[in-house]
Amino acid sequence: MLTPMLYRAVSPPRGPYARHAVAKMNYIAQAVASTLALSVCSMAAAQEAAKPEELQRVQVTANKRKEPIQQVPMSVKAITGDQLEERGVSSLEEALPGEPGVVINKGATAVSRNIAIRGVTDTGFSLTQSTVAIYIDELPTSVVQASGNVDLALYDIDKIILIRGPRSTLYGSAALGGTIKIETRNPSLTAMEGSARLGLSKTQGASDWNQELVASVSTPLVKDQMAVGITAYRNKQAGYVDHPTLGKDVNEVTTEGVRVALFGQITSQWSVSGRIYSQDIKAGNGSLFLPGTDFQAKPTAILEPWSDKLSAGSVALKYSGSAFEFVSATSYFDKTAKYDADNTGFFGPFGPGFGLPANQIYRTIGEFDSKVFAQEFRFLSPDVKTGLTWSAGLFYSTEKTINNGETPVPVIGNFFGSASSTDRKQSAAFGELGYKFDNGLTVNAGLRYTKYTSDDSNTLIQFGFPSPAVARLSEKPVTPYVSVSYAVGRDIYYAQASKGFRMGKTNFPLFVPPGLNFTQPAFAGSDSLWTYEAGAKTSWLANRVNLNVAVYTTRWTDPQLTVFAPTGFAYVDSLGRRNPGAGIDVNGFEIDLAARPISGLLVSAGVGYVDSRINKNVIGLDTVTDPATFAVQERVTPKGTRVVGIPQITANATARYSFAVGNLPAFVGGSVQRVGSYNSDFRTSPGANRVLGGYTALDLRGGVDIRDLSLTMFINNATNARPYVFQSSLPPETVGSIRPRTTGVVATYRF
């Protein structure tokens, strides 16, 4: 049994609660690993009559160098572009549910998006930098606000690489819980090739059709040396939420984009890769609805449209020599998001006190714009079977983020609004040094030194009165990493310790009514965590079965959290400011299985267990205010409270069987995702907190290839599960769900 041995490799946390959590983790890990092991053994008998092929050998760049995924000593998952296309998904929101240890919540608009890995999150609604670093090719996109994450459509994608656990040594700030890398395809240097894809589907409750049109072509400019590729796409997701007075299917979303790829093998040693990305997402309204209804939007005087526009580019120049490899990666992106919101339910009660009519509409108009330039140079040693390995690099980035909003009303002007500006510069030096012994033992250690300064200007307009504030943050975090691994044949066993960090955040100066006992911090400094992990990657039955196991424990000291003031407005605070020594402890594991038990059958399964909890009694997360007297009651959030937004169990399983219909290749398959339940808020007052998640979703698909034409039929969310996965407690309370049952067909022509 692998799991008990691996778990003992991690020093268990102390204390009765921690020992109980560890015992629970160990029991679950043993049970799951035993079940998977028994399944694998039974598969061995089934493949006697056939000779199944080996599992695909996927190459990943988790360590910023190409390596077979089964040889990378960390918890890494790769989702190929072919798998994404066959599943009929086109976004991270559709691709990642059920992935062990991963939670993605798109929220209501383009500025309320949150991703968490391994229980490391700043709640479902976040004002801080992301806890997950997101890269598109060589382009880092995790900007100052987690809600600013780029949502690139997943067309013409080579693979998504999911790195679980902190890797700030290589990927810098934001890589606390993990890193997501989206890698697009290079154009072909040898021949012209391309594809055209047309998809039509129907979502239950929607009157219109979902439409998908994708065209991709690449051609050599100089054969074997230079090629260019272009991908254009348009995706319309029909609405299924009805507004009580302003129309049906109001949450329609249209995504349009163009991507240009350039790849050149200039010489045998020098290559260049360039990308241009342009994408525009437009939504007619948010997708939230009133709980207990059949997708009925809250009553508003106006619709609440939003848009998300991306313009970006990157160039990577690479030299591969016998002594070292050199990469220069230059990138720039500009993301602009706009939104309208009807906040009458929140601001309306205050209006009459300022002479505004009782029927006044409070429409908030917002715009978020972030421009980021980044440059990285890195040197890497060549891959060797035994001997010294090393890497070294320099990183520099500048960021300019503006986030403005206004709620104009008669006479007063801007009744409630904000204007923030962030100018941030970051520089870093990083490196890793390792040694591979001839007995299979490898040791590796790395360090990153970062210096950043952030000049922030925040003005909050409250009841027509501006409250300006200017602040500067300057910090120099250091993030080390150390690992040891041991390879036996195709199996590898490892243990590692890694530190992750993210940059600090200044606050808007909130309005505090006279007599209200509340003090808001000017800013929250950077936070960091340590994760200690042990795992094994094993290959059985001549590489027809891979079973990977990882167990970990994380200590997140003094985390930044987005919390709510007694007046209901959000701000950022360090948990330890009022609760010295407080933090978040996370214990968990992941198990991933992939197998080809018989010819034509590919199965995979994964389960993640995450136990993320506050490690002591704290105040500041749960406050209640009497609106008549402004008396504030602070409730204690007890030790052991689960972190909001984090389900304990995430799991998925997929099966695909290939066969022939006559002489035509065909397949059938399906996948199931399980997401456990979680709380939406630390607050315990009525309407503030709701239990979310706790659902199972089933997807089915099948297809046939007729020469160059592929036809695929699919049913996503076949059981029509309607869980609540997001909550907005602003009156009236609204919730979000996954997309209802969607049935469709995709035709792809390749040439």
CATH, residue 89: 2.40.170.20
Please give the residue range of the domain that contains residue 126.
2-750
> Which DSSP category does 186 fall into?
P
pLDDT, residue 124, reads: 61
Contacts 24+ apart (CB under 8 A), 243-249: 243/285, 243/296, 243/297, 243/299, 243/300, 243/303, 244/296, 244/297, 244/299, 245/299, 246/300, 246/302, 246/303, 247/303, 248/207, 249/206, 249/207, 249/208
On the 0-12 / 13-18 / 19+ scale of CB atoms within 10 A, 628 is exposed
Strand partners of residue 567: none
pLDDT, residue 87, reads: 84
Contact 199, 207 (CB under 8 A): no
What distance, in Å, lies between the first and last C-alpha atoms of the chain? 48
Measured CA to CA in angstroms, residue 648 lies from 322, 609, 630 at distances of 47, 5, 37
Measured CA to CA in angstroms, residue 278 lies from 81, 165, 192, 335, 337 at distances of 20, 30, 23, 10, 14
Mean pLDDT by 10 residues, the chain (751 residues): 30 42 44 43 42 82 93 95 87 90 78 85 79 92 65 93 95 93 96 96 97 97 97 97 97 97 96 97 94 95 94 97 96 93 88 92 93 96 94 96 93 91 94 96 97 92 88 93 96 97 86 76 90 97 95 96 82 92 97 95 97 96 73 88 96 96 96 96 87 96 96 96 91 92 96 93
* Amino acid at the residue 145: Q
Residue 634's contacts (CB-CB under 8 Å, 6 or more residues apart) are 619, 620, 622, 623
Contact 561, 573 (CB under 8 A): yes
pLDDT, residue 52, reads: 65
DSSP string across 665-725 = EEEEEEEEEEEEEEES-S--STTT--EEEEEEEEEEEEEEEETTEEEEEEEETTT------
Contact 165, 533 (CB under 8 A): yes
Q: Whose CA is closest to 311, among 287, 336, 333? A: 333
pLDDT, residue 27, reads: 43
Q: Give the total residue count for the chain.
A: 751
pLDDT, residue 145, reads: 56
Residue 48's contacts (CB-CB under 8 Å, 6 or more residues apart) are none
- Phi first, then psi: give them for residue 218, nearest 5 degrees: -135, 150
- Phi first, then psi: give them for residue 202, nearest 5 degrees: -130, 130
What's the pTM value of the predicted model, to 2 decimals? Answer: 0.90
The DSSP H or E segment spanning 36 is helix 16-46
pLDDT, residue 108, reads: 65
Radius of gyration of the chain (CA): 26
pLDDT, residue 361, reads: 94
> Which DSSP category does 146 fall into?
G
Split into its structural domains, the chain has a count of: 1
pLDDT, residue 1, reads: 28
